[in-house]
Structure 1
Amino acid sequence: MSSSDPTSLHNPYFYQKPGQKDIWSLINETAAEAQAQSGKPIVNLGQGFFSYNPPKFATEAVNEALTKPQFNQYAHARGNPNLIKEVAAHYSKSFGRPVDTSEIQITTGANEGMFSVFFGFLTPGDEAIVFEPFFDQYIPNIEMTGAKVRYVELNYPEKFNDKTVTGDDWEVDWEGLEAAINEKTKIIVINTPHNPIGKIFTEEELLKIGQLAIKHNLILVSDEVYENLYFTPSFPRPAALAKLPQLADRTLTIGSAGKSFAATGWRVGFVHGPANLIKFVTAAHTRICFSTPAPLQQAVAQGFIEAAKVDYFEKTRQEYIKKYEVFTKVFDDLGFPYTVAQGGYFLLVNLSKLKIPDDYEYPPAIADRGTLDFKLAYWLIKEIGVVGIPPTEFLIPDNRKGNGLEKCLRFAVCKDDHILEDAIERLRKLKDYI
């Protein structure tokens, strides 16, 4: 069986037994079934969608855009000029240097932006490097071009077994990274802030990765969809490294209006990069979906303007710092270690101290997964009423069994405070199972 075969064992996205459900269907259907059986609501901290509306200025901008004839027709393939201008201004401020509108491509969500990058630059036989654990969409997006994925680990920190850690403790396998690069390599993909870890790549890490990209003439794709949710003093970005400015010439940065404005259903994303690279992203985007919904593009353009007036992004950061403070306290009290989120809206919690009865029964759909985290997720839904995501799904199949992530679950905190408070009350019951 060839490695490009979508049913290959090396392809984690397509690696499912006949009739086996994908993780999202399996977990959400388990939650729905548990709610129906118990008659009590389940607190869903699984998928990273917001439980609340976008800011009022953003929804008002949608309503306004819908009244304008020009915003109810096809947008230009490059994107709404108003949005391109605002995204360029946004990156100019973020990078601390002028960004021209020729460096921006609007896409139908960040995922389509990534897809357009891969289709713009990868051909059969090429290779792309992805750090593991990874956001699952990267893998099929790359392999559908005929290219091969090479995986490099962010090493699981052994002290995470019994101590709370930070993203800095999840270190890059530098030997593995250098060994993965060969004459077929075209792209290195990073995700910062990282899903599911919450890690922000340090300036030193970005410099080392960037130097390798320059040395081997590679494109660096930086997935920065959580760029406005960082909780460290600064947010290093490969396209803005003062110590390695030439890296910007080969960096494509992925952004998300959906993540920025709590509007994931709007499907508006953008790609930044030098104009000589962006033109290939534009060519792929034009063939994939031609253009992105016009009224939502206009709403996002207006959203950036209004956000600057009210300091929306900074206020949102402060709100999330408080959410994490409240949510992590229950795990501190229970003695469950977690990875302190440096950015994003996920919390990775180690539940290895949890004592689930040995004779607890699991349905075949869960038991057949073969990893402890799926059992943890199922038990937590059924017995505690809280949904978390098994993080081994972000690993290749060969690395799932016995990996430290088997003891963990990922929780999303992008929820209303009352939902988090409900989850906390339920999670306190775990003290009876330690």
Structure 2
Amino acid sequence: MSAATPPTERRVSARVGAISESATLAVDAKAKALKAAGRPVIGFGAGEPDFPTPDYIVQAAIEACANPKYHRYTPAGGLPELKNAIAAKTLRDSGYEVDASQVLVTNGGKQAIYEAFAAILDPGDEVIVPAPYWTTYPESIRLAGGVPVEVVSDETTGYRVSVEQLEAARTERTKVVLFVSPSNPTGAVYSEADAEAIGRWAHEHGLWVLTDEIYEHLVYGDASFTSLPAIVPELRDKCIVVNGVAKTYAMTGWRVGWIVGPRDVVKAATNLQSHATSNVSNVAQMAALAAVSGSLDAVEEMKTAFDRRRRTIVRMLSEIDGVVCPTPEGAFYVYPSVKGLLGKEIRGKRPQTSVELAALILEEVEVAVVPGEAFGTPGYLRLSYALGDEDLVEGVSRLQKLLAEARD
């Protein structure tokens, strides 16, 4: 008599198996692979400054490498000198006074976001997530046991949600509202009045706020950065700030981020990190110390270049029939609507979705962009303008020529 057939074994857990690959990193990896194979691909996928990390920051890392002090384990929550510097930097840049006990240094902003959600969410807790959203937010919420609840905005409001929309999404299970300004993927920046209104609404209803401030220094024109806990002080006991050095100082590969928040939450997240990764690389922490405690002159130089590229890419994309490209006020992304191109014939194909259009663009003119589906809003493309001026103009010129062929 044969043995019973065993049930199908689940090889990957349902929790991890449900995670989607980072679409932005996937597009960037594909573009880099094609370039390595000799293809003249221009990548607008990753949000990564094309500038080298400033010399004084690199020098601090070199010196740390030679110092035996940094060859050993250090506190899981971060080097004390870096935590103190982050607290001082937070007051300098945001007007928000905290001390080192409210800071946790993490392996980049992504770990900060996950650990923040993990520290405050219980299974089934809802998090209001304005869309378009950065791809990592909903996945981090789900991994932490929460439920992301999307509130969708579009180009007609400058990709900003209203208090009324947030209130319509609030339920008895709502615990957190996510607030991001300047925004990835849209570059939207909330005015101080609108940010304050959202903060006061959250406080009125006893909600937590997680605010991602990683693009705080990248605002243009008349727009200005606003830190919620600075302008709504009564929110501070239920507000977690996530930040890092990646975007401001061209340090994406150094992997240093941080959480600023109430002491009990920071302590809980630190306990989690002590088991997950222990301390962030000491060399990277010393580089981050030089960054946050140093001059912002190099940052201003990069910002000037981003502003120039911002104006160029908006002008060139707006010249394409079927594309609507709002002018971003912050970060280094544009998020044009391409709904006017979907269903039209382009080189024998009729892309019905922005995923199909992005694939067609890569195949036909070797330009890598990220489709809006990755950010929760189909019908759009995200392009980073954190690449060289010549590549930017060449890449968008290819788009112009290709999409000019669109026919009904």
1:116 to partner: Cα distance: 1.0
Task: Return the alpha-carbon distance in structure 1 between the equivalents of residues 65 and 355 of structure 2.
Answer: 44
Over residues 377-403 of structure 1, what are the superposed CA-to-partner deviations in whole Å (9 max), with x where a residue is unaligned? 1121122221110012211xxxx5xxx
The 3 A distance-change label for structure 1 pair 25 and 291 is: closer
Aligned pairs, number: 391
Report if the CA contact (8 A) 1:132-1:151 is conserved: yes
1:305 to partner: Cα distance: 3.0
Q: Which residue of 1 aligns with 2:299?
A: 313
1:418 to partner: Cα distance: 2.9
Q: Which residue of 2 aligns with 1:58?
A: 57
The 3 A distance-change label for structure 1 pair 53 and 173 is: same
Task: Return the alpha-carbon distance in structure 2 between the equivalents of residues 358 and 417 of structure 1.
Answer: 27
- Opposite residue 263 of structure 2, the aligned amino acid is A
Q: Which residue of 1 aligns with 2:174?
A: 185
Please say if 1:195 is aligned against 2:195: no
- Opposite residue 349 of structure 1, the aligned amino acid is P
Report if the CA contact (8 A) 2:50-2:388 is conserved: yes
Report if the CA contact (8 A) 2:22-2:136 is conserved: no
Over residues 213-265 of structure 1, what are the superposed CA-to-partner deviations in whole Å (9 max), with x where a residue is unaligned? 21222211001111121114421120111xx3212332111101112211211
Task: Return the alpha-carbon distance in structure 2 between the equivalents of residues 26 and 77 of structure 1.
Answer: 30
Task: Return the alpha-carbon distance in structure 2 between the equivalents of residues 29 and 206 of structure 1.
Answer: 35
1:192 to partner: Cα distance: 1.5
- Opposite residue 375 of structure 1, the aligned amino acid is E
The more displaced of 45-54 and 351-360 is: 351-360
Q: Which residue of 2 aligns with 1:349?
A: 336
1:83 to partner: Cα distance: 1.3
Q: Which residue of 1 aligns with 2:314?
A: 328
The 3 A distance-change label for structure 1 pair 107 and 431 is: closer
Report if the CA contact (8 A) 1:268-1:292 is conserved: yes
1:410 pairs, out of 382, 388, 394, with 382
Stretches of structure 2 lacking an aligned partner (at least 5 in a row): 1-12
Alignment of 1:43-192 (within 5 A): 43-153=42-152, 155-157=153-155, 168-172=157-161, 174-192=163-181
Task: Return the alpha-carbon distance in structure 2 between the equivalents of residues 275 and 266 of structure 1.
Answer: 26
Task: Return the alpha-carbon distance in structure 1 between the equivalents of residues 400 and 128 of structure 2.
Answer: 40
1:358 to partner: Cα distance: 6.2
The 3 A distance-change label for structure 1 pair 120 and 58 is: same
Please say if 1:265 is aligned against 2:253: yes
Report if the CA contact (8 A) 1:30-1:378 is conserved: no
Report if the CA contact (8 A) 2:131-2:375 is conserved: yes
Query: Which structure is higher in RCO with an 8 Å CA cutoff and minimum separation 6?
Result: 1
Task: Return the alpha-carbon distance in structure 2 between the equivalents of residues 87 and 272 of structure 1.
Answer: 9
Q: Which residue of 2 aligns with 1:206?
A: 195
1:429 to partner: Cα distance: 1.9
1:254 pairs, out of 230, 239, 242, with 242
Stretches of structure 1 lacking an aligned partner (at least 5 in a row): 15-20, 159-167
Q: Secondary structure of the equivalent of 2:62?
A: helix
Q: Which residue of 2 aligns with 1:162?
A: none
Task: Return the alpha-carbon distance in structure 1 between the equivalents of residues 101 and 22 of structure 2.
Answer: 39
Task: Return the alpha-carbon distance in structure 2 between the equivalents of residues 54 and 304 of structure 1.
Answer: 13
Percent identity reads: 26
Task: Return the alpha-carbon distance in structure 2 between the equivalents of residues 297 and 33 of structure 1.
Answer: 30
Task: Return the alpha-carbon distance in structure 2 between the equivalents of residues 34 and 107 of structure 1.
Answer: 32
Q: Which residue of 2 aligns with 1:230?
A: 219
Report if the CA contact (8 A) 2:186-2:328 is conserved: yes
CA RMSD across the alignment? 2.8
Task: Return the alpha-carbon distance in structure 2 between the equivalents of residues 136 and 217 of structure 1.
Answer: 27
1:87 to partner: Cα distance: 1.1
Task: Return the alpha-carbon distance in structure 1 between the equivalents of residues 25 and 267 of structure 2.
Answer: 37
Report if the CA contact (8 A) 1:104-1:273 is conserved: yes
Q: Which residue of 2 aligns with 1:18?
A: none
The 3 A distance-change label for structure 1 pair 31 and 266 is: closer
Report if the CA contact (8 A) 1:193-1:344 is conserved: yes
Task: Return the alpha-carbon distance in structure 2 between the equivalents of residues 99 and 128 of structure 1.
Answer: 25
Report if the CA contact (8 A) 1:46-1:412 is conserved: yes
Q: Which residue of 2 aligns with 1:165?
A: none
Alignment of 1:363-378 (within 5 A): 372-378=353-359
The 3 A distance-change label for structure 1 pair 132 and 334 is: closer
- Opposite residue 57 of structure 1, the aligned amino acid is Y
Over residues 112-165 of structure 1, what are the superposed CA-to-partner deviations in whole Å (9 max), with x where a residue is unaligned? 011111111112232222112221212221112222222222x2245xxxxxxx
Please give the TM-score of this superposition, normalised by the length of structure 2: 0.86
1:303 to partner: Cα distance: 2.1
1:292 to partner: Cα distance: 0.8
Q: Secondary structure of the equivalent of 1:189?
A: strand
The more displaced of 318-327 and 179-188 is: 179-188
